[in-house]
Amino acid sequence: MRKVLEGLIDGQFFCPYSNRDVYEQLRQPEYAAAIDGALRPIGRALARLGEGEDVTAFFARYVDLADSGDRREAMEELKRVRDQIMPVLHFIHLYSRAGQGDVCLSPGEEVSFGELLMHVDQFQVAREQLRDLCVYPLFSRVKTVDANKEKLNVVFKGLVEAGYLVPKGAESSLYVATGKMGYFYQVVSWIADSQKLLPAEDVEPDESQVTGELL
């Protein structure tokens, strides 16, 4: 239980793709209640994406955003996700242009590193998209790389570290979108409605409109 609590407090999302064992445990009412009870004293609660049998992921949310400390931390988390919106959306666009999926990357959907690399190598516009992707802070925390494969590796590594993708296997070039993608789309929708999706440098999330359902 300790590792699950630490993961939730650290911002992890538990879904069938990131950690099926923990996800199945959290689907059990008694275990979920125990986790929720352990989170409450530190101002958190167990939250779900979806309802009933359709729950796609579990994460920790803040209980009382009236608390100034919790509200400040929640706002910082919202800003982090906000700053990931454009790079993640641009990756999804590159992925969909490669014919790997629809305009949305849904939880459980597979992404082939090899097929995406082939698309990038073949089309100039895809190479330009990849180059532009690597400019974002989410993908530019390492030294500059030149080869398409190295650039794509940087992008995938960033998405894995941010919790949006997980490798399908140790030796596989396939990745799977996690349940956090569902949370990402909810945040995108909320910001689009309340903030008009202005560039990050032009707008700060409105604290009066932050919802505990997301945070």
**Cα(76)–Cα(140) distance, rounded to whole angstroms?**
20
For the domain that residue 131 is a member of, what is the CATH number? 1.10.10
| Domain assignment of residue 212, yes or no | no
pLDDT at 197 over 70: no
| pLDDT score at 18 | 95
88 and 176 inside one domain: yes
**Cα(115)–Cα(100) distance, rounded to whole angstroms?**
8
CB 71: neighbour CB atoms within 10 A?
Answer: 16
37 and 123 inside one domain: no
112 and 156 inside one domain: yes
20 and 109 inside one domain: no
97 and 58 inside one domain: no
Note the pLDDT tens digit of each residue in 101-137.
566 899 999 999 999 999 999 999 999 999 999 999 9
Where residue 198 falls among pLDDT bands split at 50, 70, 90?
very low
140 and 177 inside one domain: yes
Name the token pair of 137.
Answer: 């802070």
94 and 160 inside one domain: yes
| Domain assignment of residue 202, yes or no | no
Secondary structure string (H, E, C) spanning the chain: CHHHHHHHHCCCCECCCCCHHHHHHHCCHHHHHHHHHHHHHHCEEEEEECCHHHCCEEEEEECCCCCHHHHHHHHHHHHHHHHHHHHHHHHHHHHHHCCCCCCCCCCCCEEEHHHHHHHHHHCHHHHHHHHHHCCCHHHCCCCCCCCHHHHHHHHHHHHHHCCCEEECCCCCCEEEECCHHHHHHHHHHHHHHHHCCCCHHHCCCCHHHCCCCCC
Which domain does 30 fall in, by range? 2-62
| pLDDT score at 73 | 86
Q: Match 């995406």 to its residue by tokens.
A: 116
22 and 58 inside one domain: yes
Note the pLDDT tens digit of each residue in 125-135.
999 999 999 99
CB within 8 A of 7, min separation 6: which ones?
14, 22
